[in-house]
Amino acid sequence: MTQHPTQSPQFFLTAPSPCPYIEGQFERKVFTHLVGEKAPELNDLLTQGGFRRSQNIAYRPACETCRACVSVRIRAEEFRPSKNMKRVTQKNADLIGAVHDAEPTTEQYSLFRAYLDARHRKGGMSDMTVLDYAMMVEDTHVDTKIIEYRRRGPDSFITGTGQGALIAVALSDTMADGLSMVYSFYDPAQEERSLGTYMILDHIARARTAGLPHVYLGYWVHGSQKMAYKIRFQPQEHLGPKGWERYEATDNGG
C-alpha cells in the first residue's frame, strides 16, 4: 500500500451546479485546503496552475463538458495602458491606496454591501453577512493584504494613507511571481471613476514596483459580458494545455 506524506494536499470535487456565466451549463470545481505553514508555497504553485483562492480554499473549474473558463495573468512589465486607461488613471489621481493587514472593518462591510446591492443583487454573494465578509478577509494562511482607497490628504505623501470616506477596496495576495486580485469592490455611486479598471491599473503599478512579473485576474470566459473587461489589459497570458501562452487581442478597448 502506497503511503502519502501527511503534508500532501487532498483534492475534492464538488457536485454539479448551474453555471453563473453560461446559461444551460453546469459547473464543477476541484478544490483543496490552504492551511498550515506550507500554505503560501502551495498557493503559489496552485495559482500558477490555474487555481483561485477563496478564504482557505484553492479551487479551479473541473466541468465535464465545458472549458470556457481560462486563467488570465497580465505581464506587468510589458503592460502599456490604452488611452482610455490613461484617462481613468488621471480621473483617479486624487486617490491613494493604503495597504493594511487582512482585517475587516465595519466601514469596509458597509461599502461591500452597497456594492453588492447595486451590482450583484442576484449573485451568489448577495446574502453575505458581516460575519461572512469577515471570514472572506481574514480566513487566510497566505500573504494577504487589504488595500483601502481614499482621497489624498495634505500629509498623504508622508503617511501613505488618504482621508475621508472609503471609496474602494481590494483584497490581494502577494506571491513569488506576482499579485493575485482575490476580490475588489467600490462605491457604486462613483461609477464615472471606473474604479474596477483603476484598481487593476494600480495593482500593475504595484507589481512593477515590487519587481513581480504578473498580476493574476482569475478567469476569463469568452462570451461572458461579466468577464469581458479582463481581456483589455494587454499583453497577458492564458493558461492552456501547453501551459501559459501569450495572448494579445486585436482590440483592447482603446
CA distance 24 to 239: 25
**The predicted structure's pLDDT at residue 3:** 46
pLDDT per residue as tens digits for the range 144-158 = 999 999 999 999 888
**The predicted structure's pLDDT at residue 158:** 87
**The predicted structure's pLDDT at residue 22:** 86
List of residues 6+ apart from 216 with CB closer than 8 A = 47, 71, 72, 73, 175, 178, 179, 180, 181
**The predicted structure's pLDDT at residue 64:** 87
List of residues 6+ apart from 251 with CB closer than 8 A = none
Angle, CA of 184, 75 and 156, to the nearest 5°: 50
What is the domain partition of the chain in residue ranges?
A: 12-69, 80-212
**The predicted structure's pLDDT at residue 122:** 64
**The predicted structure's pLDDT at residue 93:** 97
What is the fold of 80-212?
Aminopeptidase (3.40.630)
CA distance 45 to 22: 28
CA distance 161 to 148: 8
CA distance 31 to 29: 6
For residues 216 and 146, the answer to whether their CB atoms sit within 8 Å is no
The low-confidence residues of the chain, meaning pLDDT below 50, are: 1-6, 253-254
Global pTM reads 0.91
pLDDT per residue as tens digits for the range 70-84 = 999 999 999 999 999
Q: Which residues of 211-244 are buried (b: 16+ CB within 10 A; e: fewer)?
A: ebbbbbbbbbbeebeebeebbbbbebbbbeeeeb
Grid cell for residue 62: 473541473
